[in-house]
Structure 1
């Protein structure tokens, strides 16, 4: 019995060491680019916010894109302490911390991903509303007004906070006396972590993300089909058949509508690509407990976790390139800012 217990402890220790080795390898490759991505993301989202405010919130799409930029900026700001802790522990292991360094990780990590998930809900709202307006314009063209869009954005934020309460409420600040210096230092206190994290994994890392992911793929497919259909209609010669002409007119998208749909498709596609690693490792983690800290597949878990974080940072950063290429008004105001 004692030998079996010793063997289990030894296997767990080896697994933890393996995880740390994989974590170090992943951090060695990915960590150097994280500060650059965060910096670029903060600059790009600040630019987006200024441009959209300057353009005026005259339609639902602009309101949603502004909300998305604000949420992405909040995510990048809140995730910075966690990323900084990873980098310091990896590149400066002898760093002397003024406070318990787990505070830096735990107190900011879940609020950061609350905003990240909020961004995903905004992207989903954007994709679904554009699908409705393009697929059934007569019914939905005037449905998504500015006021209703603002109400929707506020409701989505409340929903994001509400469903993250299990992990937002398990951490608090306590005090512990340092035996060496005999000085009390602040530490992170965790209560009910195991249960709350399981709830969060099932709800916020699997069920809702998969629903959003599948819905988003459907939106992108439908919008892409409408773009293809619009391009074919534009290339057809004028027809003398009144019925056919009326059908063509009903399916035709204006140049402005085409650019809006193209930008929405790209924003949603970026979300789909960035979300895939997180979905895969979160689902495998629930199905196979070995794919986790201390498990047999901890090597893959360490790699997926860091790749997922990198994709999350990129997802909150690169939308500026979409807006610049497919929004002439954005491009004009952006160039005005550059000339100041």
Structure 2
């Protein structure tokens, strides 16, 4: 076992508050991770195939396609870290043939860079749908398909740029065991504490608050528009409309036809999944601002670890559950999926 792994094992065999709760959390959540990730990989591949088959001809479909791609990349990149986590904490005596931290941390930050991109795309979905409801006549002129693709490319650059501090801290080096004279690779952190602190301020502080507030605002606006549209629809159903020239002026919400309502519902549900999955991250960031000891290697390390595993589980769920939303509230998605399944059934 490597030196880093020995230190890690020593830490987790030392009496500490919340130790039993921490391992209980691991034992409850860790068995769920492989199933969630496998389902997420399959569901996002299905989403990508369906959206490509349907033809990404409008901004919403382009964003949904890009969201499925970024979710897929996140799940692929986070799989090694998850596997190492499950092995390390459920089989703590596992004799690692190489430095455990290579598997655990090397792709961890690239994975969460992809997760950030998914968050940015989800927020863009909410904002664009709000704009569509608020200014339906101008919306198509503002966010065309070409501009949406350029916007996604900008989001990719933004996600990578914001994570540069932690994307540059890990590198693979070689060291020689004096007992065996055998060289082996290990993960060498560079400026880890300083860069992680910058990451905490930017990505786990400022960015997450901006995204969360924006998404909550979008959900409130869209939910109100849905309520307004349903209320108007009920009033016109129960009351006989007079002649068109005597009818009152129509509010914006009345412009939501049944198809628009389904699209708005699907976007709202995607936004809600994002909000719920980000809530534990937000709680962690807020607590760390007011309680510095709520962190790894501090007084509340294991309590911090409990919430961290909940955060990890929520991120997997966030990247895996959108297929249910699309299937239930996107008629075009459903029809394309049924056609693909029927073709494969005939074969």
Aligned partner of 2:192 in structure 1 is 193
TM-score normalised to structure 2 length: 0.90
**Is there any run of 5+ residues in structure 2 with no aligned partner, and where?**
1-10
Paired residues for 1:27-42 under 5 Å:
27-42=26-41
Q: How many residues align?
A: 329
Q: Secondary structure at the match of 1:225?
A: helix
Q: 1:194 to 1:249 in 2, by over 3 A?
A: closer
Aligned partner of 1:313 in structure 2 is 316
Deviation at 1:331, TM superposition (A): 0.7
Residue 280, structure 1, aligned to residue 283, structure 2: yes
Deviation at 1:177, TM superposition (A): 1.2
Residue 303, structure 1, aligned to residue 306, structure 2: yes
Aligned partner of 2:63 in structure 1 is 64
Aligned partner of 1:324 in structure 2 is 327
Aligned partner of 2:118 in structure 1 is 119
Aligned partner of 1:163 in structure 2 is 162
Aligned partner of 1:6 in structure 2 is none
Deviation at 1:14, TM superposition (A): 9.4
- 1:239-271 per-residue CA deviation (whole Å, 9 max, x = no partner) reads 447475432477321211111100000000000
Following the alignment from structure 1 to structure 2, what is the Cα–Cα distance between the partners of residues 21 and 233? 55
Q: Do the aligned residues in 1 keep the contact of 2:228 with 2:253 (CA within 8 Å)?
A: no
Deviation at 1:19, TM superposition (A): 6.0
Aligned partner of 1:139 in structure 2 is 138
Aligned partner of 2:340 in structure 1 is 337
Q: 1:118 to 1:217 in 2, by over 3 A?
A: same
Q: 1:199 to 1:249 in 2, by over 3 A?
A: closer
Of 265, 270, 273, the match for 2:268: 265
Deviation at 1:178, TM superposition (A): 2.3
Q: 1:239 to 1:312 in 2, by over 3 A?
A: farther
Q: 1:250 to 1:23 in 2, by over 3 A?
A: closer
Following the alignment from structure 1 to structure 2, what is the Cα–Cα distance between the partners of residues 281 and 170? 22
- 1:26-65 per-residue CA deviation (whole Å, 9 max, x = no partner) reads 1111000000000000000000000000000111000000
Of 246, 250, 274, the match for 2:249: 246
Following the alignment from structure 2 to structure 1, what is the Cα–Cα distance between the partners of residues 218 and 235? 26
Q: 4+ residue runs of structure 1 moved beyond 6 angstroms? A: 12-16
Aligned partner of 1:294 in structure 2 is 297
Q: Do the aligned residues in 2 keep the contact of 1:59 with 1:146 (CA within 8 Å)?
A: yes
Aligned partner of 1:228 in structure 2 is 227
- 1:98-144 per-residue CA deviation (whole Å, 9 max, x = no partner) reads 22110112211100100101100000111001101101223324311
Following the alignment from structure 1 to structure 2, what is the Cα–Cα distance between the partners of residues 315 and 298? 25
- 1:200-244 per-residue CA deviation (whole Å, 9 max, x = no partner) reads 011001111111101100100000111111111211232447475
TM-score normalised to structure 1 length: 0.92
Q: 1:239 to 1:222 in 2, by over 3 A?
A: farther
| RMSD between aligned residues | 1.9
Q: Do the aligned residues in 1 keep the contact of 2:134 with 2:252 (CA within 8 Å)?
A: no
Q: 1:297 to 1:239 in 2, by over 3 A?
A: farther
Following the alignment from structure 2 to structure 1, what is the Cα–Cα distance between the partners of residues 315 and 63? 19
Following the alignment from structure 1 to structure 2, what is the Cα–Cα distance between the partners of residues 324 and 298? 41
Q: Do the aligned residues in 2 keep the contact of 1:260 with 1:326 (CA within 8 Å)?
A: yes
Q: 1:188 to 1:248 in 2, by over 3 A?
A: same
Following the alignment from structure 2 to structure 1, what is the Cα–Cα distance between the partners of residues 293 and 284? 12
Aligned partner of 1:44 in structure 2 is 43
Aligned partner of 1:215 in structure 2 is 214
